[in-house]
Structure 1
Amino acid sequence: MSVADLLKHNFMDGGPGFMTLHYLMWVLVVILTARAAKNIRSTKCDYRKLEKLNTTILFIGGFGLLLSLFYRTMGMYNAFSVLETTSDISPTLVAGGLKASLVAPLYSLFLFLVTGIIWFIFRLKIIDKRIVTQMS
């Protein structure tokens, strides 16, 4: 199974509505990270802009995580409502549903992990640049 097939399969399992939003968050994080890296490399580094970009990157990761947990909770509530009204349910069917409900939070946890690392790296760069400019 190729990476594209895996992403397509997970896109459908995670729910097209949320997963589209989640992929857009990934694209936004990549764009903001590129802008922040460009700002760091410029000779006239704007610290306020860099701090805003850095905070926004971390916020997107955290918001994606919270949104996916909310989305999963809604899905689990609906699934348990159906289980409550149905008398004969296969354990395999329930396990498959639980597995599918974890797709969106897994993607969001990975996004949050990546944005946390990006935030930490840029935070160190901001501190280093401030120390250098204060010594000059």
Structure 2
Amino acid sequence: MITVIFYLFQDQGFFQQLLARIYEGGPFPMTLILLLFFLMIFFIIRSALKLRALPQSFRKSVSLVNQVALLAVIIGLFFQLIGLIQVFDAFESLGNIQPALLAGGLKVTLLPPIFGGLTFIIGRMATFILNWLRKEDPVTAA
């Protein structure tokens, strides 16, 4: 916990650090994953508002959260593979590779799946909590 607080209050702000990582991971895939994250948050809020709705309506909202979260992971993995191909093409043309250069290239290719995975974890935790909060169906309770 202290490490997180220390990290948030460093010279460079948390959001500046986040934007730097988004730019470093590739503006297109990272922006796409960020948009999916915001869409998932919208679907989570919509599902929370439908806790007392009909079961089909609630299940559809929760399913949308899961699908958007899964899409974020898949997009992250897809762009990681594209990044790995680009890194290996660049190293093939260089011939002699330095380990620091390889590590930097691999770090950049790992950023989209990490952000996609974080989006997925948040989405799955939200669906778990939403399903837990929905105690019983309103139709059977009457």
TM-score scaled by length of structure 1: 0.88
Query: Partner amino acid for 1:123?
Result: N
Measured on the aligned residues, the alpha-carbon RMSD in Å equals 1.6
Residue 26 (structure 2) aligns with: 15
Which has the higher mean CA deviation after the structures are superposed, 87-96 or 55-64? 87-96
Instruction: Give the alignment partner of residue 114 of structure 2, picking from 106, 112, 127.
Output: 106
1:64 is displaced (CA, Å) by 0.9
Deviation at 1:129, TM superposition (A): 2.0
Q: Give the CA deviation at 1:135.
A: 4.6
Which residue number corresponds to residue 80 of structure 2? 72
Q: Residues of 1 paired with 2:89 and 2:81: CA distance?
A: 12
Task: Return the structure number with greater relative CO, CA threshold 8 A, min gap 6.
Answer: 1
Within 5 Å, which residues of 2 pair with 1:1-136? 1-40=12-51, 45-126=53-134, 128-130=135-137, 133-136=139-142
- Count of aligned residue pairs for this structure pair: 131
Q: Distance in 2 between matches of 1:98 and 1:47?
A: 45
Q: Which runs of 5+ in 2 are unaligned?
A: 1-11
Unaligned runs of 5+ in 1: none
- Following superposition, the deviation at residue 133 of structure 1 comes to 4.3
- The SS at the match of 1:89 is coil
Q: What is the identity percentage for the equivalent residue pairs of Structure 1 and Structure 2?
A: 23
Please state whether the residue corresponding to 1:74 is helix, strand or coil: helix
The SS at the match of 1:59 is helix
Q: Shift in Å at residue 99 of structure 1?
A: 1.0
Distance in 2 (CA, whole Å) between partners of 1:134 and 1:53 is 20
How far apart, in 1, do the equivalents of 2:89 and 2:104 lie?
16
Higher helix share: 1
- TM-score of the superposed pair, with normalisation by structure 2: 0.84
Structure 2 contact 37–72 (Cα < 8 Å) conserved? no
User: Shift in Å at residue 79 of structure 1?
Assistant: 1.1
